[in-house]
Each structure stands twice: as structure tokens, then as C-alpha cells.
Amino acid sequence: MWPVTAIEVLSQEGTLMVANQSNTLTAKKEFVFNSAAYLLRIGTERAHTLNELLEGLRVVPDSSIFQHMFQTLAEHHYIREGFSNDFAHWAFFSCNETGLAERLAGIDVREYTSIKEMRQRIIQVIEEYVKRNSASADRKALETFYFCSSDTVVIPTTISARNLDDFVDGLRRVSLHSIHYHFINARLRIKLNSNDFSQWLNEELGLGALADKFEAIDIYTSTLNGVRRQMVKLAESESEHARVAA
């Protein structure tokens, strides 16, 4: 039974939403904020040269690729410079191969929906580099690269949202691990070039434009706190706009 002040609204996609008297859209399916915690496992593969890195990349489990491409964004979420992924970092700081580091840093996790595709791309970048710079292939790095992987455990929170205002409140309150889980890691879970937040905003609240703005936030030039602040600002602006329009 809907409240008497409720107005039924159909989004473009046909999803039933409800607008209350203040015109705050209310989704039928709430957004449940989860978080995640990670245990880092040290693998047996290690690399002292670019060729050994290639060998390792071909055989390590998916969880290792995940760790070195995705997790580093959580582990160093307070730094904006230089930490796109562990492979790029190692190529720069330990191998002194700046060109390779830049190419590896250019691999954007947002463009992939499977670890398999990402692994192939990383291998391709290094193979091409080594082919053009054969002397670099077996040059010993300053530090060894240790392939690690993470065991991920999902941790539920008590925070959920059915409308935009509650969603903003949730964004403010959850840990950065939750932001990372929904905004970055989600890409692999939902196999779309998107994230949990954008998907819910679009499908449950019909806020496609806001969803696109969320998606466009650059995770590589912001800290995770910076990403959070941008999302809050965008969502608050949308909410204010809706109030004024009402």
C-alpha cells in the first residue's frame, strides 16, 4: 500500500519507482552497501627480469592479476601519483623501463570485464616492449617482483538506501573499502563497463545522466577519498536540482 502522497513514476526502462511528495525518487530495490576485506597470499612465482615477469603472468592464477591490478588502488588509495598498478610500478622503480611503465600504467581496469582479457593485454604490452627493446628482456631488476594474490571476503554493512538522499548519506558513512568494492571491483562482478553505483542509479532511480557522471570519475588521478567526495557532490547536486524542479 503506497502512502497517499506517493506518485508512481515509470522510468524510461520501465522500472517502477515511487516519488514521494518532495519528489524524491524511491527505488523498489534498495542499494545495500557492502564492503570487502582481503588477505594477501604470497605466491610461489617471482620475477627478476621482464622475461620472468612474462612467464609468471602466463601461469599465475586470476586472483594474482586481480591483486596487482585492482587491489593496489585500495592499498594506496591516498596517493594519486604513480600507483596505477603494481606491474607499472615495478617496471618504473625496479627495472628503470619508463616507457614500459607508462604503457602498463595506461591499462585502465575500467575497460575490462574479465581478468582473462586484462591478463592478455598486460602480456601483449610487455611482449611488444621486449621485442622492440631486446636488451631489457633479461636485465636484472633492482627488486624482485613477488606475485601475490588476495582472498576476498565480503563484509556486509547495515547501510542501505532507497532514495538519492539516503544514498548520499551512505556514501559518506561507508569505509573506503566499500567504495572500492562497489566502484572498482564491481566491474568484474557484474561484467559490465560500469560499477554498482552507476547501475543502481540508472536502473532503479532512472538517473542515467548521474550514472554516467559517476562512471566518468577518474580513479587514477584521485584518491579514493577524492572519488567519494566527487560522487557525493554530484549526487547532492542532482538531489538539489530535483528539489528545485519540484
Partner 1 sequence: MSKKPVQNTTDPTNDSASLGVAEGKRTESASKVNRVPSSLDTAGLMERRKSPRIATTPPAPDAPPKFDDYGPIVGEAELSEIRYVADTLRGRTVKMVNSTAVGGGVAEILNRLIPLMNELEVPTKWDVITGGNDFFEVTKGFHNALHGEQYELTQAIKDIFLSYNEQNRERMTFDEDVVVIHDPQPANLIKSRGKKGQKWVWRCHIDLSNPHAGVWEFLRPMVEQYDATIWSSPAFTRQVKVPQYLFYPSIDPLSQKNKPIEENYVAKVCDDFGIDRNRPIITQISRFDRLKDPVGVVQAYKMARKYVDCQLVLAGGGASDDPEGAVVLAEVQEAAGGDPDIIILNLPPWSALEINAIQMASDIVIQKSLREGFGLTVTEALWKSKPVIAGAVGGIPTQVIHKLTGMLVHSVEGCAYQIRYLLTHPEFAAQLGRNGREHVRENFLITSNMKRWLLLYQLMLGVAKKEKAA
Please give the residue ranges that form the binding site for partner 1 (CB under 8 A): 35-42, 44, 46, 62-63, 65-66, 75-83, 93, 113-115, 143-144, 146, 148, 151-158, 173-175, 177-178, 188-189, 191, 223, 225-226, 229
**Cβ distance to partner 1 smaller for residue 22 or 225:** 225
**Cβ distance to partner 1 smaller for residue 11 or 222:** 222
**Cβ distance to partner 1 smaller for residue 77 or 103:** 77
**Cβ distance to partner 1 smaller for residue 191 or 243:** 191
Instruction: Return the DSSP state at 109.
Output: G
**Cβ distance to partner 1 smaller for residue 2 or 78:** 78
CB atoms within 10 A of CB 51: 15
| Residue 66 amino acid letter | F
CA distance 185 to 66: 9
CB atoms within 10 A of CB 135: 7
Least Cβ distance, residue 123 to partner 1 (angstroms): 17
**SS3 for 160?**
strand
Least Cβ distance, residue 110 to partner 1 (angstroms): 14
Least Cβ distance, residue 114 to partner 1 (angstroms): 7
Least Cβ distance, residue 60 to partner 1 (angstroms): 11
Least Cβ distance, residue 31 to partner 1 (angstroms): 16
CB neighbours of 148 closer than 8 A, spacing ≥ 6? 40, 41, 42, 43, 64, 67, 68
Least Cβ distance, residue 132 to partner 1 (angstroms): 27
- The Cα-based distances of 38 to 53, 67, 180 in angstroms read 24, 9, 12
**Cβ distance to partner 1 smaller for residue 193 or 225:** 225
Least Cβ distance, residue 235 to partner 1 (angstroms): 17
Q: Residue 244, CB half-sphere, CA atoms under 13 Å: how many?
A: 6
DSSP per-residue letters across 124-156: HHHHHHHHH-GGGTTPPPSSPEEEEEEEEEEEE
**Cβ distance to partner 1 smaller for residue 145 or 214:** 145
Positive or negative: CA dihedral 115, 196, 73, 155 = negative
CA distance 75 to 123: 24
